[in-house]
Chain A
Amino acid sequence: MSIVRLKIDGKEITSEKNTTILQAATNAGIKIPTLCYHERLNPIGSCRLCVVEIAGYDEPVTACNTPVLEGIEVVTNSDSLYRMRQESLKLLLVHHPLDCPICDKAGECTLQDLVFEYGIQIENYKAPEKPVEAVYATPLIKYWPDRCVMCLRCVTACREIKAAHALDVAKTGGTANLVFHPDRCVSCGECMQLCPVGALTENVSRMKSRSFIVNKVPTTCTYCGCGCQMELHVLNNQVVNVTGKNDIGVNHGSLCVKGRFGYEFIASDQRLTKPLVKRNGKFEEAGWDEALNLVAKRFSQIKNENGPDAIGGFASARCTNEDNFIFQKFMRAVIGTNNVDHCARL
């Protein structure tokens, strides 16, 4: 691996040859504003917020897709760069309704943050009568075309990470639009997870929340053996949203349709809420004490009459390690049998 020397904002740094100016700057702790860039995707280069100047070049370049070169001197901040970024943002805002008050993304929106940071005042902006919602590739996601900044993260993610190709760009008369192929979409929500603004929002929870009032609890998905790391967004003892979490190197922030949208069962009114005891072929609600007394009595009886090996237990691939540990301990130490197995040896 060959090493390249360069200067960024006067600071001498070294970087591996095949990195971009943005990566080199990030590694050196220098922040360059970005909107379309995402570390997991190949650079898209659509937003031009990451412009930087290189000494001796006529035009600024985009840092996210320009590779480092030996000896270059890069400037990430100047009056003219500042103005260019302001202009880029203003251009986006011409089409973008400032409906932050009703947007799911408010509070964790890259555009909102950038507009705030660059102190942009909107002079001639007219709010649309009613926010437009468009049909999207999956019924589980809403698309708000007015809010879309055409960064193309969603299109790129769908292609590079999901290989689903359910999103595309079509250019009609100078304006680019997203096109959807619902038949190819697997409803994974990767596009939504990576959308930097509120143009893609989840369409499952009836209760809406703001990112700054929910309690986000990091946990592990309950569905499959991938063990994806996720955050449950909790409001009033209800899960109102689920997002992928990118810290342990398991799932890199991705989730699938089950992990991301399959949380309704938690609050289902079909959940059992009380122990049930069958009398004359019918279930009746019972108190914990009553139900557990019955279980303990019958297990003891059968163990005495038929021996411990007449009792068997199914542990569960759906329960935690701790639950399973206690379960087999109970079967072995208390009942006295090794008849313990689970359905999913598969």
Chain B
Amino acid sequence: MKDVLKSKVILITGTNTTANHPIIANYIHEAVMKNGAKLIVVDPRRIKLVDICHLWLRPKVGTNVAWLNGLMNVIINENLQDQEYINQRTTGYEELKKTVSKYSPDHVADITGIPAKDLVAAARLYATEKPGSILYAMGITQHTSGVNNVKCIASLAMLCGNVGIEGGGVNPLRGQNNVQGSCDMGGLPNVFTGYQAVTDGTVRDKFAKAWKVSALPEKVGLTVTEMTALDGPIKALYIMGENPMLSEADIHHVAKKLSSLDFLVVQDLFLTETAKLADVVLPSACFAEKDGTFTNTERKVLRVRKALDAKGESIEDHQIISAISKKMGYEMDYPNSSSVMDEINRLTPSYGGITYDRIEKEGGLAWPCPTLDHPGTPILHIQRFTRGEGVFFPIEYQPSAELPDAEYPFVLTTGRVHAHYHTGTMTRKGNALNQICPEALAEINVEDAKALKVVDGEYVNIVSRRGSIRIKALVSEITDHGVVFVPFHFYESAVNNLTNCALDPVSKIPELKICAVKIVKAA
């Protein structure tokens, strides 16, 4: 994260960094205010960083591929690409060139609403100041075109040779604290720890042997969205510390599915909206009451330390799981969390050298860190060199799954606000943060509000093809014409009543960022 302090130009997109990753925003501030780096913001919303940026491009929601191709079009036309890097390190350049040649600034302006001259200026700025880094987050991935967006971003960085160098690169910003860690630990349907594929026989044998079972399942499992599909095969769910009733797209069908299960176990700190539907609720200890590790967005493994005795009878999550396991006839015996880490070290090459002892002495370690004497790998894309050539993927722009029409004329997008976190399970339990941000506010553009005859602070109903919510309006210049933004932390006005569960075909991430709605003044 501190790497941006070395950047000369920073392009951020799809991330309201100030709200979602405040510390990274600090480093961006420092880079710009103290070191004089140039900042390009590409975001449909007038996010806070726009205040200090050099260029702000405001694309229509869901048109990422178009403007990304547009930037590459300009760079190639003006011969600003890093040809040496492209020749030596990459393949697929000619195909990319052919595809992006169709995305002239004028054509892109038609699709995205970004004035051609701004697009050209941004392309020149990004291509000529080096090193340049790109930061992106959910505004990029939460679309049906999410995976394509990410590929385009990677192409843009490679085009300018901004890969695997300090102050360069492509940096996805992960949302929740330990998304990185839960992926690394195999909390995914297709991989064990360290992204070792369940379809690989040797890998399965290794784990089966270590875990003393005869065989492990080889079929790739279901994703959260598939597991909550109404007509899916799931009869029982075990949910640890998640609140899909607020976080998943289209919560109507999630509620229906959870209520129709034969058996639902929820393990959490609070009786969440999801826990209320459970057959059994198990109280777990919170981060201040346990030992363990989190892995942050730059893959650094950091210690969590027990500061308090757990509330009431609650116990640590892994101890609850071990106890259930024992009752099902499978011994799991871990005297403490560091003994769990020992097993992770043994089974996970990328975590091989990350022990509690070392973290204690050396501070956080970034994986891959295969052995005890390996220093860790703070900049990952250096790996691209070892793995071989970077590949350019030519991608065509496709419109979002649900676009506004006469009946539902507004684009709804969702996200976070500064003072709350994800589904608000924790942040909304105290006075402090509620004082700063007591309720959900729908951000509506000044002009739109005028047309709707809605004033700041009035309630509106926002209606989509799937449902409706009542919510207070915040009239501002933050959102563009025709766009309304609603944060998803608040159960009283759960925005995911409205959203679309069309999935990205590859990542299976639902299109939470965009759907069509109408707005009516509430009675």
> What is the interface of chain A, defined by CB distance below 8 A to chain B?
42, 138-140, 159-163, 186-188, 204, 215, 217-229, 232, 234, 237-239, 247-252, 254-258, 261-268, 270-278, 283, 288, 291-296, 298-300, 302, 306, 308-334, 336-346
> What separation, in Å, do the CA atoms of A306 and B350 have in the docked complex?
36
Closest chain B residue to A140, Cβ basis: B432
> What separation, in Å, do the CA atoms of A238 and B332 have in the docked complex?
31
Q: Which of A160, A227, A327 contacts B34 (CB 8 A)?
A: A160
Q: Which of A162, A224, A313, A345 contacts B238 (CB 8 A)?
A: A313
Tell me if B189 is interfacial: C-beta within 8 Å of chain A.
yes
A225-B175, A262-B432, A264-B432 known; A321 vs B301 contact (CB < 8 Å): yes
- Residues of B near A320 (CB, < 8 A) are 178, 181, 287, 290, 292-294, 304, 317-318, 337
Q: Is the CB of B224 within 8 A of A314?
A: yes
Q: Is the CB of B29 within 8 A of A161?
A: yes
Q: Is the CB of A227 within 8 A of B364?
A: yes
Q: Is the CB of B29 within 8 A of A344?
A: no
Convert B275-319 into 0s and 1s, putting 1 for each residue whose CB lies closer than 8 angstroms to a CB of A: 100111111101111101111110011111111110111111110
Give min CB distance, B494 to chain A, whole Å: 14
Q: Which of A268, A277, A294 contacts B430 (CB 8 A)?
A: A268
- Residues of A near B268 (CB, < 8 A) are 272
Q: Other CB < 8 Å A-B pairs besides A163-B33, A343-B244, 18 of them?
A: A160-B33, A163-B32, A220-B302, A222-B426, A224-B176, A225-B174, A250-B23, A258-B420, A272-B271, A272-B281, A288-B315, A309-B233, A323-B292, A330-B324, A332-B186, A341-B189, A343-B248, A346-B512
- Residues of B near A224 (CB, < 8 A) are 20-22, 175-177, 421
Q: Is the CB of A225 within 8 A of B177?
A: yes
Which 8 residue pairs across A and B have the least CB separation, nearest first? A273-B312, A264-B430, A227-B296, A320-B292, A338-B221, A315-B187, A256-B22, A316-B241
Q: Is the CB of B297 within 8 A of A226?
A: yes
- Residues of A near B330 (CB, < 8 A) are 333-334
Closest chain B residue to A251, Cβ basis: B23
Tell me if B323 is interfacial: C-beta within 8 Å of chain A.
yes
Q: Is the CB of A321 within 8 A of B308?
A: no
Give min CB distance, B281 to chain A, whole Å: 4
> What separation, in Å, do the CA atoms of A264 and B240 have in the docked complex?
21
Q: Is the CB of B287 within 8 A of A276?
A: no
Q: Which of A140, A258, A309 contacts B219 (CB 8 A)?
A: A309
A227-B302, A234-B308, A248-B363 known; A323 vs B316 contact (CB < 8 Å): yes
Give min CB distance, B362 to chain A, whole Å: 9
> What separation, in Å, do the CA atoms of A225 and B175 have in the docked complex?
6
Q: Is the CB of B300 within 8 A of A314?
A: no
Q: Is the CB of A223 within 8 A of B177?
A: yes
> What separation, in Å, do the CA atoms of A159 and B316 have in the docked complex?
41
Q: Is the CB of B327 within 8 A of A296?
A: yes
Q: Is the CB of A330 within 8 A of B177?
A: no
Stretch at the interface among B90-98, B121-129, B209-217, B515-523: B209-217
Give min CB distance, A32 to chain B, whole Å: 23
Q: Is the CB of A270 within 8 A of B240?
A: no
The total of interchain contacts (Cβ-Cβ below 8 angstroms) comes to: 475
Q: Which of B189, B322, B341, B427 contacts A340 (CB 8 A)?
A: B189
Give min CB distance, A309 to chain B, whole Å: 6
Tell me if B373 is interfacial: C-beta within 8 Å of chain A.
no
- Residues of A near B213 (CB, < 8 A) are 333
Q: Is the CB of A325 within 8 A of B340?
A: yes
Convert B354-378 into 0s and 1s, putting 1 for each residue whose CB lies closer than 8 angstroms to a CB of A: 0000000001100000000000000
- Residues of A near B328 (CB, < 8 A) are 296, 299-300, 334
> What separation, in Å, do the CA atoms of A328 and B193 have in the docked complex?
9
Q: Is the CB of A250 within 8 A of B288?
A: no
Tell me if B101 is interfacial: C-beta within 8 Å of chain A.
no
- Residues of B near A324 (CB, < 8 A) are 178, 181-182, 185-187
Q: Is the CB of B512 within 8 A of A328?
A: no
Q: Is the CB of B224 within 8 A of A342?
A: yes
> What separation, in Å, do the CA atoms of A160 and B27 have in the docked complex?
10
Closest chain B residue to A228, Cβ basis: B23
Q: Which of B189, B233, B296, B432 contacts A310 (CB 8 A)?
A: B233
Task: Indicate the member of A255, A311, A324, A332 with the most B CB atoms within 10 Å.
Answer: A324
- Residues of A near B400 (CB, < 8 A) are none
- Residues of B near A186 (CB, < 8 A) are 18, 22, 418
A256-B23, A298-B236 known; A332 vs B279 contact (CB < 8 Å): no
Q: Is the CB of A295 within 8 A of B324?
A: yes
Give min CB distance, A75 to chain B, whole Å: 31
Q: Is the CB of A273 within 8 A of B280?
A: no
Q: Is the CB of A225 within 8 A of B180?
A: yes
Tell me if B448 is interfacial: C-beta within 8 Å of chain A.
no
Q: Is the CB of B292 within 8 A of A322?
A: yes
25 pairs, CB–CB < 8 Å, chain A vs chain B:
A139-B435, A160-B30, A222-B177, A227-B302, A228-B23, A248-B300, A258-B420, A262-B421, A265-B270, A265-B425, A265-B429, A275-B280, A276-B271, A276-B280, A277-B281, A312-B222, A315-B185, A324-B181, A326-B321, A329-B332, A332-B186, A333-B213, A338-B190, A341-B221, A343-B247
Closest chain A residue to B296, Cβ basis: A227
- Residues of A near B262 (CB, < 8 A) are 298, 302
Q: Is the CB of A326 within 8 A of B278?
A: no
Q: Is the CB of A219 within 8 A of B305?
A: yes
> What separation, in Å, do the CA atoms of A37 and B24 have in the docked complex?
24
Closest chain B residue to A219, Cβ basis: B305
Closest chain B residue to A307, Cβ basis: B233
Tell me if B51 is interfacial: C-beta within 8 Å of chain A.
yes
Give min CB distance, B232 to chain A, whole Å: 9
- Residues of A near B293 (CB, < 8 A) are 220, 320-322
Tell me if B514 is interfacial: C-beta within 8 Å of chain A.
no
Tell me if B265 is interfacial: C-beta within 8 Å of chain A.
yes
Closest chain A residue to B24, Cβ basis: A226
- Residues of A near B80 (CB, < 8 A) are none
Q: Which of B323, B344, B425 contacts A288 (CB 8 A)?
A: B323
- Residues of B near A265 (CB, < 8 A) are 269-270, 286, 425-427, 429-430
> What separation, in Å, do the CA atoms of A299 and B186 have in the docked complex?
21
Closest chain B residue to A163, Cβ basis: B29
- Residues of B near A332 (CB, < 8 A) are 186, 192, 198, 207, 216-217
- Residues of B near A221 (CB, < 8 A) are 177
A273-B283, A320-B290, A321-B301 known; A293 vs B179 contact (CB < 8 Å): no
> What separation, in Å, do the CA atoms of A332 and B206 have in the docked complex?
13
